[in-house]
Chains A and B, each alone.
Chain A
Amino acid sequence: MVKLLKRCYAALIYLFLYAPILILIIFSFNASKSRANWSGFTLNWYLELFKDRQIMKALYNTVVIALLSSVMATIIGTAAAIGIHNMKKLKKKLVMNLTYIPVVNPDIVTGLSLMLLFVFTKFPLGLFSLLLAHITFNLPYVILSVLPKLKQLDKNLYEAALDLGASPLHAYHKVILPEIMPGIITGMLLAFTLSVDDFVISFFTTGSGVSTLSIIIYSMARRGINPKINALSTLLFLTVLLLLIIVNLRTSGNGANKKRSDLKW
């Protein structure tokens, strides 16, 4: 009895979570522009989506910024994590507090403070300012992913490599880096998804004419319902689902043959 009740409750919650998304997907194939009735299957909205130059440009911007900002944040962040890991306690605490600021600060404050900075320094708002903003909010997440891996690291390994005649750089490359690689990859993936998903900070730090997908969706949704957004949502939802399944399979596979993947890196 209790078990049945629990199942029903879980089912209701899942319905609450998925019903809006499913309806969004179903209506992306609706021939009529109205939501009220179903007037036949069509792929028209998808065709129009791909013909919309503004949306395609925004998609391009989103991907370019996500790629560049996650790679840059990963490089700066990983180096920083190694540095922070070797710091004295007090200094470390100070730096970590600085790292936590963008994480705990509301997005809107991060966004508008960066906008003030760009305007104050007369830095032109556009693709480049967006990129700088994205690197800024991605950096802490890379550091927070890499630091735990560094803590798990056996200090003796590095010293053993030095004793065996490796130069410090060589030892880092062959010993430390492979050990912390899972953390670096997690951080980069996290940074990439956060960058794709961001709206608030982009909204404040972009200039006229430069949009990301989130900004386009917001300005379209503000004007009301538009079936093109449904088509776009469907494609994005399927992409996210696919990526999550791949990541999940990858990590569970890693667990199964951990030895092998450790060797590979």
Chain B
Amino acid sequence: MKKNWLSYPYLLWMVLFVFFPLLLVFFYSITDRTGEGLRFTLAHFRRFMEPIYLKVLTRSVKLALISTVLCLMLGYPMAMILAGNHFKRKNIMIFLFVVPMWMNFLLRTYAWMTLLERKGLINTFLSWLGLNPLNLLYTEEAVVLGMVYNFLPFMVLPIYSVLSKIDKNLIEAAGDLGANQFTVFLKVIFPLSLPGVVSGITMVFMPAVTTFVISRLLGGGQFTLIGNLIEQQFLYAGDWSFGSAISMVMMIVILLSTSVITKYEKENEGGGLW
């Protein structure tokens, strides 16, 4: 069966629209356009090392890390509950959990704007209780909240799918050998669920560190994240070389963090990129 040629249109497409554009990003990040033409330079990377830009990078990583940890803390128990047999209508529970994920993430973020704004529902409720209204929207906490809200299912679902595949006999065996529930969790369930935790962490951290929408809508433009910086360079400042350099740095950050995380992942079938 020689059918290789069937994939040639696809390969041509991917080279043209994936490989070549990434090459262009790299090319822009190391060149300068002067009057005389192109010139090789590392100035754009050096510029990113200035304190204001480094602060943006550390802030992005910090907020993404906080959100990831919160998602893990909130999501792990939820995944355990979903994987257990506590409810008669388990399928419906999982269906209900997935539905919000299919809603446009801009709308999910916008929903929080209406809740958190100065005259929003939470502040109305507070003043009804006789409390002073709070500044909720356009804060760092609001950005973290938006990330947790948007990405929580990405943490829960991988952990859930690993947990529900665990052999129940292992848990019973541990119990028969004298382990109490806590030890069973610590020594059996948690270690077995680690692949799910690992993919959950990558699936939350990646979009959280690159987002520019959540920080723009809930942070109100005061909390520039690395995504916002890239957006600004390309769409407003018109400095494509600097924008490309930041994108290169961001790709390296993601590549490093995911490769560190997945190093602990044993099963590596499918032969992914990292």
A residues touching B (Cβ–Cβ < 8 Å)?
Answer: 3, 6-7, 9-10, 13-14, 16-21, 23-24, 27, 34-37, 76-77, 79-87, 93, 95-102, 104-110, 112-117, 120, 132-133, 135-136, 139, 143, 158, 193, 196-197, 199-200, 204, 213-214, 217-218, 221-222, 225, 229-230, 233, 236-237, 240-241, 244, 248
Residue B86 CB within 8 A of the other chain: yes
| Chain A residues positioned under 8 Å from B93 (CB to CB) | 10
When A34-B119, A221-B113 are in contact, do A112 and B273 touch as well, CB less than 8 Å? no
Selected A-B contacts with CB under 8 Å, 13 pairs: A20-B111, A87-B4, A93-B271, A97-B271, A101-B14, A104-B273, A106-B250, A110-B18, A113-B24, A116-B25, A193-B102, A217-B104, A237-B103
Q: Which of B224-274 contact A (CB under 8 A)?
A: 227, 230-231, 234-235, 240, 243-244, 247, 250-251, 254, 258, 270-274
Contact A16 B149 (CB under 8 A): yes
| Chain B residues positioned under 8 Å from A10 (CB to CB) | 78, 81-82, 87, 93
Contact B19 A106 (CB under 8 A): no
* Chain B residues with a Cβ closer than 8 Å to the other chain, count: 84
* Minimal Cβ-Cβ distance residue in A for B15: A98
Residue from A37, A97, A200 having most chain B Cβ neighbours under 10 A: A200
Contact A82 B100 (CB under 8 A): no
Contact A200 B213 (CB under 8 A): yes
| Chain A residues positioned under 8 Å from B102 (CB to CB) | 193, 197, 240, 244
| Chain B residues positioned under 8 Å from A116 (CB to CB) | 21, 24-25, 28, 240, 244
| Chain A residues positioned under 8 Å from B21 (CB to CB) | 113-114, 116-117
User: Please, how many angstroms separate the alpha-carbon atoms of A98 and B273 in the complex?
Assistant: 8
Residue from B102, B114, B149 having most chain A Cβ neighbours under 10 A: B114
| Chain A residues positioned under 8 Å from B112 (CB to CB) | 20
User: Please, how many angstroms separate the alpha-carbon atoms of A225 and B118 in the complex?
Assistant: 11
Chain B contact residues: helix, strand, loop or mixed: helix
| Chain A residues positioned under 8 Å from B78 (CB to CB) | 9-10, 13
Contact bitstring B137-165, A, C-beta under 8 A = 1, else 0: 00000000000010010000000000000
| Chain A residues positioned under 8 Å from B231 (CB to CB) | 108
Contact A107 B230 (CB under 8 A): no
Residue B74 CB within 8 A of the other chain: yes
* Minimal Cβ-Cβ distance residue in A for B243: A112
User: Please, how many angstroms separate the alpha-carbon atoms of A95 and B105 in the complex?
Assistant: 31
| Chain A residues positioned under 8 Å from B3 (CB to CB) | 82-83, 85-86
User: Please, how many angstroms separate the alpha-carbon atoms of A116 and B23 in the complex?
Assistant: 10
Contact B25 A82 (CB under 8 A): no
User: Please, how many angstroms separate the alpha-carbon atoms of A236 and B108 in the complex?
Assistant: 12
* Minimal Cβ-Cβ distance residue in A for B28: A116
User: Please, how many angstroms separate the alpha-carbon atoms of A80 and B11 in the complex?
Assistant: 8
User: Please, how many angstroms separate the alpha-carbon atoms of A214 and B274 in the complex?
Assistant: 31
User: Please, how many angstroms separate the alpha-carbon atoms of A107 and B152 in the complex?
Assistant: 19
| Contact partner, B4, options A24, A76, A86, A229, Cβ 8 Å | A86
Contact A222 B9 (CB under 8 A): no
